[in-house]
Amino acid sequence: MKYERMPNTLRVIYSAFRMAMLYWMADPQWIIPNVIAPFVFTTVALTLFNAYGGSSGPFGLYAVLGGGMMGMWGNTIYSSGFAISFEKWQGTLEEVMAAPSKFIHVIAGRSISNALFGLTNMVAVFIVGIFVFKISLGISDPVLFTISLLLTLFSVSALGLIFASAFVLSRSAQTLTNGLETPLYIISGSMFPIALLPFWSHPFAYILGPTWGIDAIRLTTSQQYASQTFWAGMGTSSALFLDLTVMILITAAYVAIATVLFKMVETRARTMGTLVEA
């Protein structure tokens, strides 16, 4: 779509996305959380998997995709909140919120850029898995793999928006996201199959969009995985379709919740004057 013809909402999201990308490029410290950390994490995980049954087959797949998801996940959850703290540090939060555009669209653009940047560490993780541990990912359908990955990226970004709303009001919101990053990552089954987790955690897993996203991604990479999915017995195509449908519905719910939350916190910030807190 040509920039001139974009609806205003998309233009604001794109503009915020572009500004975030310009900043990422201007500040290469993103290499540490985006490339080095997942690289180390995956190496450790694959070494452990190797020691307990070999890095081939589904274990290797879990480690590689899990490491990649970790990057995307962590980057989005952390950075969506950071996007607002960043505006506060720059002193631009008031200017941005005083503009007629909806603030949620600005943060959505930043959130998507963060998730996309998170993909860079997925690439780093794939390189470790493929070249160092000789894991064959065997992507059976590259198109569906890409679609699943991109939809997961949007789902993670939408979840990031919900967390971001807390940052409009409070400096201590960082504690919330720091504390939730790892539990959410584990519960979503990014690294271990949900079946291995305690039963009580399953409802939490099923309300997380990325749970279905990682399920869909695995289905596009391994035929063997069809028997382990939530939709076992339905066939790979049907399971993939259901995974993506559920994820889209959950993502839409996240966006709706985030929209309501942003409206609430903006009104609260305008009443309490909490925007000025840096």
Partner 1 sequence: MGSNFMSELGSQGASSSGKAIVAEHLCKIFEITKGMVRRKKSQVIALKDVSFEVDYGELFGLVGPNGAGKTTTIKILTTMLIPTSGRAAVLGYDSQKDVTRIREKIGIVLGGERGLYTRVSAVDNLRYFADLYGVPRNIQDKRIKELLEFMGLSDKAHSRVETYSKGMKQRLHLARGLINDPEIIFLDEPTVGLDPEIAIETRSMIKGLVEKGKTILLTTHYMFEADVLCKRVAIIRNGDVVALDTPSGLKKYVMETSVVEVEGFGITEKEVARFREMKDIISVSADLGENKQVLKIQTPKGSEIISEVQEVLKDSHIYDIKIKEPTLEDAYLKLVAT
Binding site for partner 1 (CB under 8 A): 3-4, 8, 11-12, 14-16, 18-19, 22-23, 26-27, 90-92, 94-101, 106, 267, 270-273, 275
Give 240's contacts (C-beta < 8 A, 6+ positions apart): 144, 148, 216, 219, 220
Cα separation of 156 and 65, whole Å?
Answer: 15
Burial grade of 227 (CB within 10 A; 0-12, 13-18, 19 or more): exposed
Report the residue number, 61 or 265, with the smaller CB distance to partner 1. Answer: 265
User: How far apart are CB 169 and partner 1 at their closest, in Å?
Assistant: 12
Report the residue number, 9 or 227, with the smaller CB distance to partner 1. Answer: 9
User: How far apart are CB 272 and partner 1 at their closest, in Å?
Assistant: 7
Question: 57-90 and 209-221 are packed helices; what angle lies between their axes, rounded to 10 degrees?
Answer: 140
Q: How many CB atoms lie within 10 A of CB 145?
A: 18
Query: Any idea how long the chain is?
Result: 278
User: How far apart are CB 275 and partner 1 at their closest, in Å?
Assistant: 7
Report the residue number, 97 or 162, with the smaller CB distance to partner 1. Answer: 97
Question: 209-221 and 236-272 are packed helices; what angle lies between their axes, rounded to 10 degrees?
Answer: 150
User: How far apart are CB 19 and partner 1 at their closest, in Å?
Assistant: 5
Report the residue number, 15 or 201, with the smaller CB distance to partner 1. Answer: 15
* C-alpha separations of 194 from 81, 159, 197, 226 in Å: 27, 19, 5, 14
Report the residue number, 233 or 273, with the smaller CB distance to partner 1. Answer: 273
User: How far apart are CB 105 and partner 1 at their closest, in Å?
Assistant: 9
